[in-house]
Amino acid sequence: MDRLTGQVALITGAGSGMGRAVSQMFVQEGAAVVLVDNQAEPLAETVGRIEEAGGQVESAVCDVSDENSVNRAVAAGIRRFGKLTVIYNNAGIMPEQDHSVLDTDPEVWDWVQDVNLKGVYLVCKYGIPALLEAGGGSVINVASFVALVGCTVPQDSYTASKGGVIALTRSMAAQFGSRGVRVNAICPGPIETPLLMDWLLTDPDAKSLRLSRIPLGRFGKPEDIGYLAIYLASPESAWMTGAALNIDGGITSYYF
């Protein structure tokens, strides 16, 4: 219960799904958390749960694609806790208007890139100096299994944004390793969160097709990702940087 004692973690997209679960799990392991989301109400719900459990939490309504907003959120966290040692870049979107390169509007393409990739850049731009100041830390970027395998049901901007997140992870790992900042990516498979289930609920065929490709026979739960996140945030992973770790029920290992 104390694997993250002394850590201060900034978590984006903390109002829902994996971001909410990871926030709660980090607090259970002793971390203080700075929670960020662009939706005030769901963010307040996560904050309330953590306060009820006696956790230390600061929060900021923040759009990760907006530079001033990110700058303010990082500053609020540092003001409250005096430092930052972990960045969990989790905020992401998967709008249904994002489809094939043939039929995706440029505005939709840019919207997805702005949140999923530029958002990671901006949070790192303002957050990594704080990790350096603290003498080191861990950046964890949430990519996706779709960056690793092709799919005939395309979400091309989403897929490209997650590929960008993996490439950026490696570049930052190389740059900051000698100064004690580790940077790794998590590539989740299909996880039971609103982002995925809102879509699959309306399309039973899409749901059973995906389930049939997962050797472990079920969708992931946010907690499955949370356990890996705790490891990457803690000193237990001190010798790991630049990795892109699949945690996907086996979906990317399955031929047929």
Kindly list the residues in this chain that would bind ligand NAD in the complex (CB under 6 A). Answer: 12-13, 15-19, 37-39, 42, 62-65, 90-94, 115, 142, 144, 188, 190-191, 193-196
* Residues 6 or more apart whose Cβ sits within 8 Å of residue 216: 249, 250
- Kindly state the smallest distance separating residue 80's Cβ from ligand NAD, in Å: 19
By beta-carbon proximity to ligand NAD, the closer residue of 137 and 249 is 249
By beta-carbon proximity to ligand NAD, the closer residue of 195 and 206 is 195
- Kindly state the smallest distance separating residue 194's Cβ from ligand NAD, in Å: 4
* C-alpha 227: how far from chain center: 13
By beta-carbon proximity to ligand NAD, the closer residue of 144 and 184 is 144
By beta-carbon proximity to ligand NAD, the closer residue of 76 and 195 is 195
d(CA 176, CA 87): 14
- Kindly state the smallest distance separating residue 162's Cβ from ligand NAD, in Å: 7
Q: Are 36 and 88 in contact (CB under 8 A)?
A: no
- Which H or E element spans position 188? strand 181-188
For the chain, give me the number of helices (H) and strands (E)? 9, 7
Active site residues: 158
Buried b vs exposed e over 124-140: b needs ≥16 C-beta within 10 Å? Answer: bebbbebbeebebbbbb
- Three-state SS at 149: coil
d(CA 120, CA 164): 10
- Kindly state the smallest distance separating residue 178's Cβ from ligand NAD, in Å: 28
Q: Are 47 and 224 in contact (CB under 8 A)?
A: no
**DSSP string of 17-47, one letter each residue:** HHHHHHHHHHHHTT-EEEEEES-HHHHHHHH
- Kindly state the smallest distance separating residue 195's Cβ from ligand NAD, in Å: 3
By beta-carbon proximity to ligand NAD, the closer residue of 134 and 200 is 200
